[in-house]
Amino acid sequence: MGMEAERRWTMIETLPQFLKEHAEKTPDKTAIRLRDYGIWQAVTWKDYYEHVKYLALGMISLGLKPEETIAIIGDNRPEWVMAELAAQSVRAKSIGIYQDSVVKEMIYIFNHADVSFIVVEDQEQVDKILEMWDELKGVKKVIYYDPKGLRNYTEDFLLYFPDVEELGRKYDQENPGWFEKRLAEGKGSDLAILSTTSGTTGNPKLAMLTHKSMVSMGRNLMSVDPLQPDDEFVSFLPLAWIGEQMLGLSCGLQVGFTINFPEEPETVQHDIREIGPQVMFSPPRIWENLVSQVQVKIEDSSWLKKKLYAWAMPVGYQMADLNFRKQKPSGGMKLKYFLADWLIFQEIKDHLGLRHLKRAYTGGAALGPDVFRFFHALGVNLKQIYGQTEINGIAVVHRDGDVKFQTVGTPIPETDIKIDESGEILMRSPAMMEGYYRNPEATAESLIDGWLHSGDAGYFDEDGHLIVIDRAKDVMTLHDGTKFSPQFIENKLKFSPYIKEAVVFGGDWPFVTAMVNIEFPNVGKWAENNLIAYTTYTDLAQKTRVYELIRKHVEAANADLPPAARIRRFLLLHKELDADDAELTRTRKVRRKLVAQRYEDIISALYSSNPHVDIDQSITYQDGRTARIQTRLAIDTLETSE
């Protein structure tokens, strides 16, 4: 990079200004790729910039004003990021909304965030907006980008994305240079996005993140783990999540690597395999699902493949443990690993689309040590990160060659971390939020004397690595006085391909118990292979042989836990815990307090001597229909020697 270009680069303050720079420097390089009808369609930096410009001007001509908010809902598509950058380029801000949000939640966010324009993907989201239209305050227009099924909709506030761009072209002809001037006026201190926090209680809070905070986070992460303009990234997790904003926008726009959008949520695995990205960032549930996928496929594979896998995995684990301990492998060990890699690991990585990864990240919640070791055994450079929406998603990360699976790594540049006297993790960096939008009380609780109070308990080990125990309020004191993390036990359970979710209790009780959700597709396949007939999720979960199957996996999780932390009794729930029922956050964290209240009868039964508990409960489906479930749940008791 020449001195002049470098000087210009350091003067850039906002995300759309980075977009303009790429459009000028490398106009014909691919910025975005979308798989459409099986074919990858490329969008150059020049085209990307023009879409953003004309959409922004179209919204200006329709009445968008600086500092207003546009909301965006839909699957990961080029139009999603174009809409975000369009708002930001004229000094407005955006908020992403999870596409599976229920109507009540959406109304709260639209009104609380002062939304004036809503950009949606398709008919499903338009129908949701129409349902709530009378309760929305201040929304001027709804812009959609997939017109399928919307031809006969006559509402005057509904507009098609390309039509808004056309209005923008007219506005540009009448006001030449207006957009470029407004874009150049953008300041790092301008709010870029409002990001919903995955709070485990009540309505989501909206973290106010400036361009400066997003750019500084991207710059500091890239200084630790550099990526190149020729690298590929696949954007498949909700763009409303800070993790996707981190890599896709904060890092992607600074480095200029290509962002790829899958055709459908169902084709993600196939599309990742086709692209072979150099970097991935996913929450634990994605990595857990990939492990389950491998385990189930091996169960169904040939006798020879099973034998090879059974030989290769211990070799992989041995090599991973040597790396964790920073010890050099012997010549014999290197040869064995080379064979294991050539025969098994390369094929597994290729199947999962991980073969070309330089590094992969996990964050958003703790990842179990078993899952972490599994990927390192395969040779995947998986690193834990730690942060929160309020600090742009990242404050701490593992460094290459210094990965310890029980820690989350060390702080990134410009980031201070300290542990207060109560054991809570406090953070400070230029990536910190300004506060919560229109919520001074919550801001005053989280930001104290320039430090962000995380609500997490943790400590530093002897190497300066941060160890996060759990949410401070969730740490359990077991009956023998030891402190323990329910999340740690739950992650051990979720290493099983047959367990999707688990909630562990034990702090105020004499022993540890668990409620378990089965992984329906995997347990269903196992049942079919074992000639076990079933009708519904509830029916399958209560089969005696399914209990026997899960019991083995609970016993395996118990094996290396301290005696006081071992699960004594468990049951298989009659329904999956669901974000729509507010039992999980949108990023699939358990809302423990609510779950403890809602399943009070079940928890009491787990701590009684009863072998079962009777359930009579109403459940609400996503379309509003309700159904009544009446069933008996078995409770299994395990022998745990102390």
Do 269 and 232 form a contact (C-beta atoms < 8 A)? no
- Of the two residues 413 and 592, the one the predictor is more confident about is 413
CA distance 281 to 244: 8
Looking at the DSSP bridge assignments, the partners of residue 428 are 416
What pLDDT, on the 0 to 100 scale, is given for residue 473? 80
CB atoms within 10 A of CB 301: 12
CA distance 450 to 493: 38
Do 577 and 590 form a contact (C-beta atoms < 8 A)? yes
Average pLDDT over residues 195-204: 72
Q: What CATH fold (topology level) applies to the domain 475-637?
A: GMP Synthetase; Chain A, domain 3 (3.30.300)
Average pLDDT over residues 227-256: 95
**Please, what is the average pLDDT of the chain?**
91
The 10s digit of each residue's pLDDT in 299-351 is 888 999 999 999 999 999 999 999 999 999 999 999 999 999 999 999 999 99
CB atoms within 10 A of CB 420: 11
Q: Tell me which amino acid residue 136 is.
A: L
Pairing of strands 69-73, 93-97: parallel
The 10s digit of each residue's pLDDT in 7-23 is 445 689 999 999 999 99
pTM of the model: 0.85
Average pLDDT over residues 537-553: 95
- Of the two residues 392 and 618, the one the predictor is more confident about is 392
Measure the CA angle with vertex 206, ends 155 and 116; round to 5°. 25
Q: Looking at the domain that runs over 3-264, which CATH code has it been given?
A: 3.40.50.12780
DSSP three-state, residue 97:
strand
Q: Which of 403, 542, 561 is nearest to 491 (CA)?
A: 561
The 10s digit of each residue's pLDDT in 436-460 is 999 999 999 999 999 999 989 888 9
Tokens for 620, please give them: 């609400």
CA distance 17 to 20: 5
Q: Where in the chain is the domain with CATH 3.40.50.12780?
A: 3-264, 281-355+357-470
pLDDT beyond 70 at 610: yes
CA distance 412 to 383: 13
Q: Looking only at Cα atoms, what is the longest distance across the chain?
A: 81
What pLDDT, on the 0 to 100 scale, is given for residue 621? 61
pLDDT-derived band at 5 (thresholds 50, 70, 90) equals very low
What pLDDT, on the 0 to 100 scale, is given for residue 4? 44
What pLDDT, on the 0 to 100 scale, is given for residue 640? 58
Q: What homologous superfamily is domain 281-355+357-470 in, according to CATH? A: ANL, N-terminal domain (3.40.50.12780)
Do 14 and 216 form a contact (C-beta atoms < 8 A)? no
- DSSP secondary-structure letter at 390? G
Q: Is 11 exposed, middle or buried (0-12, 13-18, 19+ CB in 10 A)?
A: exposed
